[in-house]
């Protein structure tokens, strides 16, 4: 494990690892940054789901994000939409999150413990699983199922 140091004066931790240089291009999105160098190692693992043993390589992740973004664009999801994610941790959560970011829509996640149901007045779409679909309270959201047929983890549904 890499040691960290705490500076009492500045109240900050410093890693012993070398600094990471982040891009200065303000028009570069998170997904563009993530995928800009993925072509050099497309078969490297991007995500591993411990519970289901599912994995996604950078190539698979990029393909899934692209396919989901294309589908959501056909559903007229755009920059001004707020997408609520009501789902347990799974390998599909980052795919949904990165897709929302790629579309420049706003992401809103939901902790199911304090409130049994959730949507906000600004939510236009909810992404959830069958298990949590009853927690999406806005009756005006129509159901549009978008599931992976090869996944063993919870299936995701879109409520538009």
Listed in sequence order, the DSSP H helices in 27-145 are 30-35, 58-74, 92-102
Q: What percent of the chain has pLDDT over 70?
A: 72
Return d(Cα 121, Cα 137) in angstroms, integer: 11
Phi and psi for 35 in degrees, rounded to 5?
-95, -5
> Which of 68, 95, 91, 72 is CA-nearest to residue 82?
72
pLDDT given for residue 52 in this prediction? 86
Q: Which has the higher per-residue pLDDT, 23 or 4?
A: 23
Q: Which residues pair with 90 in a beta bridge?
A: none
The pLDDT tens digits of the residues spanning 67-78 come to 988 988 888 888
The pLDDT tens digits of the residues spanning 15-52 come to 888 887 888 888 888 888 888 878 788 899 999 988 88
Q: How many other C-beta atoms can be found within 10 angstroms of the C-beta atom of residue 137?
A: 13
145 has a pLDDT exceeding 50: no
Work out the pLDDT band at 156, boundaries 50, 70, 90.
Answer: low
CATH class of 29-35+43-159: alpha beta
Q: Which has the higher per-residue pLDDT, 90 or 4?
A: 90
Return d(Cα 109, Cα 152) in angstroms, integer: 22
The pLDDT tens digits of the residues spanning 106-141 come to 887 665 554 544 445 566 777 777 777 777 665 445
Return d(Cα 31, Cα 96) in angstroms, integer: 12
């Amino acid at each position: 494990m890499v040691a960290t140091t705490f500076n009492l004066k500045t109240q900050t931790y410093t890693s012993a690892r070398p600094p990471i240089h982040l891009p200065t291009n303000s028009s570069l999105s998170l997904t563009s940054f993530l995928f800009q160098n993925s072509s050099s190692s497309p078969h490297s693992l991007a995500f591993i789901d411990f519970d289901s043993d599912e994995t996604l390589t950078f190539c698979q992740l990029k393909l899934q994000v692209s396919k989901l973004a294309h589908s959501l664009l056909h559903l007229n999801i755009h920059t001004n939409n707020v997408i609520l994610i009501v789902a347990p941790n799974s390998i599909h959560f980052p795919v949904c999150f990165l897709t929302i970011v790629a579309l420049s829509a706003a992401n809103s996640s939901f902790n199911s413990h304090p409130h049994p149901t959730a949507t906000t007045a600004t939510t236009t779409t909810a992404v959830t699983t069958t298990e949590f679909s009853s927690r999406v309270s806005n009756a005006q959201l129509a159901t549009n199922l978008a599931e992976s047929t090869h996944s063993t983890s919870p299936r995701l549904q879109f409520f538009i």
